[in-house]
């Protein structure tokens, strides 16, 4: 049953990575002599340092803000029963269905095209766009994980004297901990490889090389330097692999729950 997944992983993951490692050895504009020194030379590009700082800005501000907002709104939805609960979930899901290009157009119109952009304020716009397009779907996902908690467990907490805040903090959040970890890792991974939002804001002249993904894209498809582009892409893959290993090894998300047969 896992053969289709293994086939896709092999042809869409392992083979491209292996081919990329072989491609890095070829001569390029970054490293005329070729070889694996290309990995070091792309990191010495003057654009890479500021691009990493931009990513760290999003990781330090917007990712924690999104995590907290998603959990708070999800807990409020789960704790409150009212007639239009389903419509509210649909309302939260709509922003996640909007394409990034439409979101960029919307935010550009709201902020105005007369704004003078610089390296400091463009970060807030990119963060706002990624925040608004991603938060709705995560609220629905976490709300679904909260609804999977056994009602008997919550009733036992109420009997023991827990108020709503204690139910959320001591029961609900620990019981959906693996789903929270899954959300955190995907948010970090998506931020590390952010591309669409800054690329669609190129009219500001401040986002041509805003993220490492854009720099790798420029190497490969603007300068015809596939070795340099692949080298930077493989470097960006390393933290994502580390996050994936931490997730698999330190959470029970992939474990199968035990079932008792009678």
Does domain 54-205 sit in CATH 3.60.150.10?
A: no
pLDDT of residue 108: 85
pLDDT of residue 160: 87
Q: d(Cα 108, Cα 32) in Å, to the nearest integer? A: 41
| pTM, rounded to two decimals | 0.86
The residue ranking higher by pLDDT, 49 or 5, is 49
Q: d(Cα 230, Cα 138) in Å, to the nearest integer? A: 31
Q: How far is CA 254 from the centre of its chain?
A: 19
In Å, what is the CA distance from 145 to each residue of 88, 138, 190? 17, 11, 21
Which residues touch 196 (CB under 8 Å, ≥6 apart)? 100, 101
The residue ranking higher by pLDDT, 195 or 202, is 195
In Å, what is the CA distance from 231 to each residue of 32, 35, 207, 243? 14, 11, 21, 20
pLDDT in tens, 30-53: 888 888 899 999 999 999 999 999
Beta carbons of 17 and 23 less than 8 angstroms apart: no
pLDDT in tens, 89-130: 778 778 777 888 888 888 888 888 788 888 888 999 999 999
Domain ranges of the chain: 23-47+209-251, 54-205
Residue 208: closest CA among 124, 107, 219, 28? 219
Task: Tell whether the model's pLDDT for residue 163 goes beyond 70.
Answer: yes
Q: d(Cα 74, Cα 85) in Å, to the nearest integer? A: 12
């Amino acid at each position: 049953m896992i053969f289709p997944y293994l086939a896709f992983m092999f042809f869409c993951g392992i083979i491209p990575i292996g081919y990329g490692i072989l491609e890095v050895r070829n001569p390029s504009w970054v490293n005329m002599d070729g070889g694996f020194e290309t990995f070091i030379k792309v990191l010495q590009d003057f654009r890479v340092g500021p691009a990493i700082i931009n990513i760290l800005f999003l990781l330090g501000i917007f990712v924690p803000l999104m995590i907290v907002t998603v959990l708070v709104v999800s807990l409020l939805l789960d704790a409150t029963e009212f007639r239009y609960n389903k419509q509210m979930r649909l309302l939260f899901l709509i922003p996640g269905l909007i394409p990034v290009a439409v979101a960029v157009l919307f935010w550009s119109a709201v902020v105005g095209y007369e704004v003078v952009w610089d390296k400091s304020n463009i970060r807030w716009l990119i963060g706002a766009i990624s925040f608004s397009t991603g938060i709705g779907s995560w609220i629905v996902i976490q709300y679904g994980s909260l609804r999977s908690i056994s009602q008997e467990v919550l009733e036992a907490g109420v009997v023991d004297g827990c108020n709503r805040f204690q139910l959320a903090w001591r029961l609900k959040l620990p019981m959906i901990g693996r789903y929270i970890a899954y959300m955190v890792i995907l948010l970090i991974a998506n931020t590390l490889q952010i591309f669409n939002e800054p690329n669609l804001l190129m009219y500001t002249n401040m986002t041509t090389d805003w993220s490492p993904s854009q720099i790798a894209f420029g190497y490969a498809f603007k300068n015809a330097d596939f070795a340099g582009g692949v080298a930077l892409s493989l470097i960006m893959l390393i933290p994502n692999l580390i996050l994936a290993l931490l997730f698999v090894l330190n959470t029970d998300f992939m474990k199968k729950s035990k079932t008792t047969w009678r």
